[in-house]
Amino acid sequence: MSAYPISISDAFHQIYPNAAVGILILENVNNPKSCSLLDEQKTALEKSLREAYPDKAVLRSLPTLQAYAAYYKRFKKSYHVLAQLESVIFNGRSLPNTAALVEAMFMAELKNMLLTAGHDLDSLQLPVMIGCAQRELHYTTMSGSEQILKKDDMYMADSQGIISSVIYGPDNRTRIREETQRALFVVYAPEGIQRAQIEEHFMDIQAFIRLFAPETSLVQLDIL
């Protein structure tokens, strides 16, 4: 289901032969500041996570989290989604309140534990390419800081520059905005993550978004 030009470099699969990147493009979305139906689902998700994982050892032993931990360890980093999960499950924290489109992505990210980046499709300069950093590449992250990609880190770029990387996250230029009507969601899946997991994750993102944007339409779903 390819509607937009998105490709993956040969170097990506040479360096990570068993990795993949999932692409989800949705149109007719909107991004309200809040949604009561989504809030109800968020509360239910927090409850189910706390019931499912009684201690940190059980949580950290999950194959999905171990797959990401192994990837991040290459760069002497830890998987931030694990820290967010532990905060919700063991510290009683709630998921942060943010605009609904981003919140839907975060909810699916915690539910399925898959690293996900969201972008405003209309801010991209096509085509889009997925690769692994082999030279000095830099971009401005959502926080406004300038980052140089770590060698071999997975990243995505449009014709204007980097839009996200695994280690440093999404950029500022193509971030999801209040006025976003078309969205691109990207899952970086290192070795150990199955195709079916990505597909299920994308189904969850769509289901959450349709709580506040029922006219949302699926344009593209690819796993590269």
pLDDT per position in the chain (224 positions), as tens?
A: 568 999 999 999 999 999 999 999 999 999 999 999 999 999 999 999 999 998 999 999 999 999 999 999 999 999 999 999 999 999 999 988 999 999 999 999 999 999 999 999 999 999 999 999 998 999 999 999 999 999 999 999 999 999 999 999 999 999 999 999 999 999 999 999 999 999 999 999 999 999 999 999 999 999 99
Range list of β-strands (E), the chain: 6-8, 20-27, 116-120, 128-132, 138-140, 146-148, 154-158, 161-165, 169-170, 182-189, 217-223
Say if 20 falls within a structural domain: yes
Say if 122 falls within a structural domain: yes
Say if 73 falls within a structural domain: no
Say if 81 falls within a structural domain: no
pLDDT, residue 2, reads 60
Say if 93 falls within a structural domain: no
Residue-level length of the chain: 224
Alpha helices in 23-73 (DSSP H): 36-52, 56-60, 63-73
Instruction: Give the strand pairing for 6-8 and 138-140.
Output: unpaired
Q: Contact at 8 Å (CB) between 202 and 22?
A: yes
What's the pTM?
Answer: 0.96
pLDDT, residue 3, reads 80
Say if 134 falls within a structural domain: yes
Q: Contact at 8 Å (CB) between 191 and 16?
A: yes
Say if 182 falls within a structural domain: yes
Residue range(s) defining the domain that contains residue 195:
6-33+99-223
Spatial separation of the C-alpha atoms in residues 30 and 17, rounded to whole Å: 36
Spatial separation of the C-alpha atoms in residues 158 and 121, rounded to whole Å: 11
Say if 190 falls within a structural domain: yes
CATH of the domain at 28: 3.50.40.10
The domain tally of the chain equals 1
Spatial separation of the C-alpha atoms in residues 94 and 88, rounded to whole Å: 6
